[in-house]
Amino acid sequence: MGKSCRCDGNRNGDPDGNPEKKNGEDSMSRVALVTGGTRGIGAAISIALKNAGYKVAANFAGNEEKAKAFEAETGIPVFKWDVSNYQACVDGIAAVEAALGPVEVLVNNAGITRDAMFHKMTPDQWNEVINTNLTGLFNMTHPVWTGMRDRSFGRVINISSINGQKGQMGQANYSAAKAGDIGFTKALAQEGAAKGITVNAICPGYIGTEMVRAIPEKVLNERIIPQIPVGRLGEPDEIARCVVFLASDRSEERRVGKECLR
CA distance 241 to 247: 10
CA–CA dist 68, 156 (Å, integer): 26
**Can you tell me the distance from the alpha carbon of 120 to that of 1, in angstroms, rounded to the nearest whole number?**
32
Stretch that binds ligand CAA, among 35-43, 135-143, 167-175, 233-241 (CB under 6 A): 167-175
Binding mask 84-113 for ligand CAA (x = CB under 6 A): -----------------------------x
- In the bound complex, what is the minimum distance in angstroms from residue 209's beta carbon to ligand CAA? 8
Spatial CA neighbour of 228 closest among 262, 191, 184? 262
Does residue 262 contact residue 254 with C-beta atoms inside 8 Å?
Answer: no
Residue choice 215, 233, 235, 238 for contact with ligand CAA (CB under 6 A): 215
Task: Write a three-state SS string for 190-213.
Answer: HHHHHHCEEEEEECCCCECCHHHH
- Number of Cβ atoms within 10 Å of the Cβ of 131: 17
74, 141, 158, 171: residue in contact with ligand CAA (rule CB under 6 A) = 171
Q: Which residue of 1, 99, 169, 187 would you call a contact of ligand CAA, by CB under 6 A? A: 169
174 belongs to the catalytic site: yes
Q: Pick between residue 60 and residue 206 the one whose CB is nearest to ligand CAA.
A: 206
- Taking the mean position of all CA atoms in its chain, how far away is CA 32? 11
Asked if 224 touches ligand CAA (CB under 6 A), the answer is yes
Distances 255 to 119, 199, 203, 250 between C-alpha atoms, Å: 43, 11, 18, 9
Binding segment (CB under 6 A) for ligand CAA, from list 15-23, 70-78, 136-144, 206-214: 206-214
Residue 170 binding ligand CAA, by CB under 6 A: yes
Residues at the site binding ligand CAA, with contacts judged by CB under 6 A: 113, 115-117, 120, 161-163, 168-171, 174, 206, 211-212, 215-216, 219, 223-224
- Which residues are annotated as catalytic? 174
